Every structure is written in structure tokens, then in C-alpha cells.
């Protein structure tokens, strides 16, 4: 089973993105595009998608471990919420993976403007729990998840 990824080059080099939908109570089930980033231990939702999905951060608990996170030069509190992350395979069928989802909320009281340009991330926990292989060949413009 293959999940095609989208390749984009916002900064001149190709990067793999996936569309996901998160299903959990009180969160809008709108698709968001996330960067597939093996440099991140976790799936992480960043401020622009917190606002977009209307995630009730005040009702979430901070993570028990690694409560502060640095991403894109900014610092965040790491909260966690349970949920199921859906992606679409090459045949249009949705595949759900249930796991804790990190929600990154800026530690700064006044949010720097650029912070809202940072993509949410699909990290290694998603690949591990979902038992996915990541295939990424930028020179051949190929990117997909497979299991």
C-alpha cells in the first residue's frame, strides 16, 4: 500500500509533504498539509494549524517529557492530545493511525509573525506506529510512504 507524497520546493530544494486529517473531539476535521520530516521525533501541529483546526490548547496537558521544543528557530511548549491521523492511499482509501499528537504552542507571549509560516510536521512516531517506510528520492522526484 502506497501513500503518495507531494513534492514542493519553497526554498529551491524539494521537500515531501502529505495531507492529513486529524480526527479527535473538538478539533475541526479539515485536511492540513504537513512536512514529512525524519528530523522530528513526533508528529507536531504548529501555530497556524492550531488556529486553523481550532485546537483547544487550554484543555490539553503539557507533555510529560521534552516539554519545551525548538523548531525553525522558535521555542514552543509541547502539549499532547490523542487522535487518529488519516492519510489517503494511491487508490483513494483512507488509512488511520492512532497516536498521541504533539501540539506546539509558542512560549513567547507575543507570537513572532514568521512563526505562523512554519509547517506542521509528520515525524518518526507516525512512521513507527503506522509501520510505514519512507521513500524519498528528490533527484528522481519520487516520494511516498509504503507499508
Partner 1 sequence: MEKANVRATEKEAAELLLKFEESEKWFSEHYEELRESYANKMLAINIEDKKIVSASSEIEELFRDLNSKNVDVNSVYIATIPPKGIAFIL
- Greatest CA separation found in the chain? 44
Under the binding rule (CB under 8 A), the answer on residue 67 touching partner 1 is: no
Which of the residues 98 through 137 are near partner 1 (CB under 8 A)?
113-114, 116-119, 121
Which span sits near partner 1 by CB under 8 A: 40-48, 58-66, 101-109, 135-143?
40-48
Residue 122 CA to residue 111 CA, distance in Å, equals 23
DSSP strand E in 51-93: where?
A: 61-62, 68-71, 74-88
SS3 34: strand
Which residues lie near partner 1 (CB under 8 A)? 6, 8, 10-11, 17, 19, 21, 23, 28-31, 33, 35, 37, 39-40, 47-48, 51-52, 71-73, 86-88, 92-94, 113-114, 116-119, 121
Amino acid at each position: 500500500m502506497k501513500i503518495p507524497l507531494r513534492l514542493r520546493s519553497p526554498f529551491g530544494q524539494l521537500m515531501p509533504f502529505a495531507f492529513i486529517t486529524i480526527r479527535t473531539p473538538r478539533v475541526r476535521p479539515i485536511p492540513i498539509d504537513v512536512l514529512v520530516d525524519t528530523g522530528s521525533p513526533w508528529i507536531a501541529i504548529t501555530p497556524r494549524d492550531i488556529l486553523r483546526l481550532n485546537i483547544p490548547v487550554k484543555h490539553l496537558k503539557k507533555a510529560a517529557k521534552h516539554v519545551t521544543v525548538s523548531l525553525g528557530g522558535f521555542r514552543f511548549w509541547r502539549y499532547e492530545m490523542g487522535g487518529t491521523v488519516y492519510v489517503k492511499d494511491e487508490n483513494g482509501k483512507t488509512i488511520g493511525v492512532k497516536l498521541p499528537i504533539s501540539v506546539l504552542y509558542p512560549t513567547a507571549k507575543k507570537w513572532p509573525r514568521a512563526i505562523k509560516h512554519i509547517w506542521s510536521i509528520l515525524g518518526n512516531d507516525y512512521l513507527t506506529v503506522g509501520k510505514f517506510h519512507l521513500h524519498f528520492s528528490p533527484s528522481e522526484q519520487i516520494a511516498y510512504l509504503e507499508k
